[in-house]
Structure 1
Amino acid sequence: MIPEGKPEVDATVRAVLKDVLALSDERVAAFDDTTPLFGALPELDSMAVAGVLTEIEDRLGIVIDDDEVDGDMLETFGALTTFAAGKTLV
């Protein structure tokens, strides 16, 4: 079951990755829950992570604490959107 609002969170995270990492529409549109991110996308280096998370915070109106950021949440597109949805859809 998909939580209400999850498609909007997915769309927001997709837009953030596109904008912050300067990815093409086609590339980001092809992301699914299993698409690897950190370590697989050369554009998503440690410096870009901060920009992506800050932009997700701004666009979704959430706060991401430093202790919540780990490799698991950035491993795949699905993990990142699930994390963001968990913060947003409470």
Structure 2
Amino acid sequence: MNDIQSAVLRILDRELNLNGRAQGFKADTRLRGALPQLDSMAIVSLISALESDLGFEFPEDLLDGTIFETVGSLTACVTRILESGQS
């Protein structure tokens, strides 16, 4: 697990009140549709927390439901943004 995935899991755990469960998530762990806590309001909070904690802004064209399908899809999106310098 890399640093970005660790940060994503930490933020998921905190924002969704998972009480440590997110630390056991793998890249293929489903998020959207699998976690009842991940509703539209939680997604807004999660986006805000990721941006604030990791120091970037999600480009609007990336904000679709597909990035929240799995831990891996969310981590890959955050990694692309951070590596592209769009922060």
Q: Which runs of 5+ in 1 are unaligned?
A: 1-5
1:28-64: CA deviation from partner (whole Å, max 9, x where unpaired): 1211111000111001101100000110001111111
Counterparts in 2 of 1:2-81, with a 5 A limit?
7-25=2-20, 27-81=21-75
**Percentage identity across aligned positions?**
33
Q: Are 1:85 and 2:79 an aligned pair?
A: yes
CA distance in 1, matches of 2:29, 2:64: 17
Please report the RMSD computed on the Cα atoms of aligned residues, expressed in angstroms.
1.3
After TM superposition, the runs of 4+ consecutive aligned structure 1 residues lying more than 6 A away are none
Give the C-alpha shift of residue 89 in structure 1.
1.9
Whose RCO is larger (CA < 8 A, sep 6+)?
Answer: 1
Q: How many residues align?
A: 84
Normalised TM-score (structure 2): 0.89
CA distance in 2, matches of 1:80, 1:53: 10
What amino acid sits opposite 1:78 in the alignment?
G
Normalised TM-score (structure 1): 0.86
Q: Which has the higher helix share?
A: 2
Q: Which runs of 5+ in 2 are unaligned?
A: none
